């Protein structure tokens, strides 16, 4: 059983398109996150939700919009994709915000 799953694993798209990445966790955790990892491996938090409520909203372009339909799901929608959006996007979850985080396998986004 996969604890934190993401789809798709790979996403190749043209500049200007709109795309979504989905994340689901079956751990019963209350908090979920989206991270962006660039080519230098730097991991940066983008958003965090606790029980479907947004609690962290870092300085990211408003082309990025997270949505949490329930506490087991946190999706990321990206409008008008740009070249600089190319990265690996990781979803993660934790029981509470101070506990260890469990990461999904990542979605490698390539914008051409």
User: For residues 38 and 82, which CB has a smaller minimum distance to other proteins in the complex?
Assistant: 38
User: For residues 81 and 91, which CB has a smaller minimum distance to other proteins in the complex?
Assistant: 91
| Shortest distance in whole angstroms from residue 18 CB to other proteins | 25
| H and E: helices and strands count for the chain | 0, 11
Residue numbers of the site for other proteins (CB under 8 A)? 31, 33, 40-45, 48, 50, 55-56, 90, 92, 97-98, 100-106
Half-sphere exposure of residue 1: CA atoms within 13 angstroms, side-chain side: 5
User: For residues 69 and 98, which CB has a smaller minimum distance to other proteins in the complex?
Assistant: 98
**CA distances from residue 15 to 48, 60, 81, 107 in whole angstroms, order as listed:** 26, 18, 5, 17
């Amino acid at each position: 059983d996969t604890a934190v799953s993401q789809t798709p694993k790979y996403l190749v798209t043209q500049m200007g398109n709109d795309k979504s990445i989905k994340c689901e966790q079956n751990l019963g955790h209350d908090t979920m996150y989206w991270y962006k990892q660039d080519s230098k491996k730097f991991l940066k938090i983008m958003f965090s939700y606790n029980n479907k409520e947004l609690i962290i909203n870092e300085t990211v372009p408003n082309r990025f919009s997270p949505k949490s339909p329930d506490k087991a799901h946190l999706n990321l929608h990206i409008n008008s994709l740009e070249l600089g959006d190319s990265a690996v996007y990781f979803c993660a979850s934790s029981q509470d915000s101070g506990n260890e985080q469990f990461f999904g396998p990542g979605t490698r986004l390539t914008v051409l």
